[in-house]
């Protein structure tokens, strides 16, 4: 028995399986019988068990996000999180997403004082916020001592020098803002 416990090749998959089970339980509680939350849960589980680096939860009319972002898979692999065009007024703590380079939150009625965890995201992360929230954070972000993510004013600024190409349109066809974003990204990376 000791031999199996010390075998790193077996520990890693076991830990990942336990992590997936924990996330799945949390998602079941969060989703309940709500159709759009079930769609979001399926997308999250596909992300957790696959190799994707971005997660699209946009345009699902979500009023909240599940509190599942503090796990190794999310911390180490999630690069871009799309939660735009929902009905989010608040967010779970996202400050542990150390690999995140893009967060799109436009089209949500976020409370302007709420997204404190956003300011704790990595400095190479670009965040696209609703205008009313962005305006409230402007003073903090323009402070010379500010060491948080880049708060972008529009899609063009968000896409400029983005380190990873955006996914194809197949999964994003319901999101009109994404088409504009991908076009801008393709234009800025071809220069």
Tell me if 44 is assigned to some domain. no
**Which of residues 38 and 164 earns the better pLDDT score?**
38
- The continuous run of DSSP H or E covering 138 comes out as helix 131-142
Cβ-contact 188, 163 below 8 angstroms: no
Number of domains in the chain: 1
Residue positions counted in the chain: 191
What b/e readout covers 25-62, taking b as 16+ CB neighbours within 10 angstroms? ebbeebbeeeebbbebbebbeebbeeebebbbbbbbeb
Q: Assess if residue 43 is contained within a domain.
A: no
Give the confidence band of 97 by pLDDT, cuts at 50, 70, 90: very high
Has residue 39 been placed in a domain?
Answer: no
- Average pLDDT of span 48-59: 95
- The answer to the question of residue 139 being in a domain is yes
Residue 160 within any structural domain of the chain: yes
Does a structural domain hold residue 138? yes
Which domain does 178 fall in, by range? 53-189
pTM of the prediction? Answer: 0.79
Quick check: is 31 in a domain? no
| End-to-end CA separation in angstroms for the chain | 58
What secondary structure letter does DSSP report for 152?
E
Q: What share of the chain is helix, strand, coil (3-state, %, to 5)?
A: 45, 10, 45
Instruction: CATH number of the domain at 61, please.
Output: 3.80.10
**Contact (CB, 8 A) for 109 and 88:** yes
Question: Residue 184: inside a domain, yes or no?
Answer: yes
pLDDT band for position 7 (50/70/90)? low
């Amino acid at each position: 028995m000791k031999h199996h416990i010390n075998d790193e090749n077996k520990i890693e998959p076991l830990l990942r399986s336990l992590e997936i089970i924990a996330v799945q339980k949390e998602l079941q509680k969060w989703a309940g019988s709500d159709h759009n939350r079930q769609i979001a849960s399926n997308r999250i589980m596909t992300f957790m068990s696959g190799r994707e680096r971005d997660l699209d939860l946009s345009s699902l009319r979500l009023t909240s996000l599940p509190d599942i972002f503090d796990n190794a898979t999310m911390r180490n692999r999630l690069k871009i999180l799309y939660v735009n065009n929902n009905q989010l007024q608040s967010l779970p703590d996202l400050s542990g997403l150390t690999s995140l380079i893009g967060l799109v939150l436009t089209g949500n009625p976020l409370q302007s004082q709420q997204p404190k965890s956003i300011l704790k995201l990595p400095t190479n992360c670009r965040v696209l916020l609703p205008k009313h929230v962005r305006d409230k954070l402007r003073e903090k972000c323009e402070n010379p001592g500010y060491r948080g993510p880049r708060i972008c004013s529009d899609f063009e600024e968000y896409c400029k020098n983005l380190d990873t190409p955006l996914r194809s349109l197949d999964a994003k066809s319901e999101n009109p803002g994404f088409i504009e974003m991908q076009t801008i990204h393709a234009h800025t990376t071809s220069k």
